Amino acid sequence: MNGSSMTVMKNGKTYTVNTSANTVIRRRFTALSSLSQISVGDLVDVWGNWVDVAHTVINASRIRDASIQERRDTFSGTVVSVSSSGFVLASISRGNQTVTVDSSTTLVDRNGQTIALSSIAVGDSIRLDGLWDRTLSTIKATWVKDTSLPR
């Protein structure tokens, strides 16, 4: 990733993909996305026009990131470890997921009272919603409920 362009590889060949304000970027199930949500290692499909004769640079009209999707359902599991930016969740159906939280993430206890990230501890039961990257096993949380709190 480099500003408004990115480098992708297919069959050992490297391509430069240029984006513009007109490039439409979508997630796995067609929800709108942005270049900032694409991560190194994600699987992407690119549509556009070749810029060079060697066919190594493309001006993208559309990009689909098959690795991320916005989940409206609930992730559930147990906290394995906690960091200053989130925690690792041993999810019931998707294995270990690295969860990140930021200032826009809503954190609540089982009674719906606002809590701080520092209140979450290893072993706590969690339910959450967020942007899931299937390839990287990461979730950018929008809502987190710690059902183990209050203790």
Q: Are residues 117 and 134 in the same domain?
A: yes
Can you give the pLDDT of all 151 residues of the chain as single tens digits?
A: 888 999 999 999 999 999 999 999 999 888 898 998 898 889 999 999 999 999 999 999 999 999 887 656 679 999 999 999 999 999 988 899 999 999 999 999 999 999 999 999 999 999 999 888 877 889 999 999 999 999 8
Write down the pLDDT at residue 70. Answer: 61
| Residue 62 located in a structural domain | yes
**Number of compact structural domains in the chain:** 2
Q: Are residues 52 and 75 in the same domain?
A: no
Give me the CATH number covering residue 85: 2.40.50.140
| Residue 113 located in a structural domain | yes
Q: Are residues 80 and 132 in the same domain?
A: yes
In contact, 75 and 83? CB cutoff 8 Å: no
Q: Are residues 53 and 76 in the same domain?
A: no
Q: Are residues 73 and 54 in the same domain?
A: no
